[in-house]
Amino acid sequence: MTEAREVLVSVKKNVGRITLNRPKALHALTLSMCETMIETLLAWQADPEIDMVMIDHSGERGFCAGGDIRMLAESGAGDGVEARKFFHTEYRLNHLLFHYDRPIVAIMDGVVMGGGVGISMPAHYRIATERTTFAMPETGIGLFPDVGGGWYLPRLPGKAGLWLALTGARIKGSDCMRLGIATHFVEFGAVEGLKKAILADHRRIDETLRMYRADAGKAPLVGFEQDLNRLFVGESVEQIFEFLEADSCDWGKAQLAVLKTKSPQTLKVAFEQLKRGEAMTDFADNMAMEYRIGSRVVRRHDFIEGVRAVIVDKDNAPRWDPPSIEAVDDADIQAIFAPLPPEEEWTPLADA
């Protein structure tokens, strides 16, 4: 096995293995990690001996907690060049994985958030455990559910994707199975055995997964699914707030309380992102849209302030601007989605 900084790359019996190796940071993605994965995947795509790809992580703390948020905030507070370069590269990785011509296995054990969602959702086999915690928590830091969130989330059953996008709710492995986020559920204690079995004979992966399959248990989502699909409807974030405020159920009240802690600007961005993404037919179009959003919101007050409150000072008391949904200018939101100058637009890899 060879180490390429924070990513371990190896090949065994026609299976290429990418292991995220930044455990102290919960394997949060850096620019160099994205570049290494792209280079590796392109090389394997050109290699007829590689039949399958496995993506996992070292250590026991989690799959991937997202991207390098501090770097993005520091760059956004300046000229934003480094942040845009990171987004451009990460989104190319997401697109490459989405269209990859070999089966991909993602071991979604532990924390799967933000950037971790972007590299696991394109996989053909998405394996959750009882330790899986899946979330897109970006509205809490003034960002938005990127890395393909505009494509994947509105395609989940009912209004679950919109709920996840707006509230940043964390769900476990059983809910991931319920929503189709995960394709298989395996107990954590059996994961190493499963990986060894796949590497030993990847051609029997379906049989192997049946052998290692475990019962995920009842999904907590079942208990509030009806309320979710009843309340997270409407033509705007304002309407969702109205429905939640008028409803008497405890679950709805709890969701309203959560939403009131999020960036109003980002709530409206995420709503518009999912609305547009749902109507798209090409994943590349979605990534181009998300790059336009990312290029702009990373330099805005709410992202800088959200990172300060949640990650730097950790006082969890962000001062959003605008401070309320009603104060957000719809024209300002539309400007965030506007095309960039042609030379600044996101483009996929030629080989993807």
Out of 56, 68, 90, 146, pick the active-site residue: 146
Q: Note if 146 is an active site residue.
A: yes
Residue 282, number of CB atoms within 10 A of its CB? 9
Residues 6+ apart with CB under 8 A from 344: 295
- Please, what sign has the CA dihedral across residues 40, 98, 290, 176? negative
How far is the C-alpha of 277 from the C-alpha of 289, rounded, in Å?
8
**DSSP classification of residue 203:** G
Catalytic status, residue 67: yes
Residues 6+ apart with CB under 8 A from 129: 108, 109, 110, 173, 185, 186, 187, 188, 191
Query: Does residue 326 have an active-site annotation?
Result: no
Structure tokens at 300: 């805005």
Calculate helix-pair angle for 237-246, 250-259, nearest 10 degrees. Answer: 140
CA 320 vs CA 141, 142, 199: distances in Å:
10, 8, 49
Catalytic residue among 138, 175, 225, 302: 138
Q: Which of 295, 266, 289 is nearest to 80 (CA)?
A: 295
Distances, alpha carbon 139 to alpha carbons 67, 86, 327, in Å: 15, 19, 17
Identified catalytic residue from 16, 67, 140, 173 = 67
115 is catalytic: yes
How far apart (Å, rounded) are the C-alpha atoms in residues 55 and 40? 12
Out of 66, 76, 114, 115, which one is annotated catalytic? 115
What is the set of active-site residues?
A: 67, 115, 138, 146
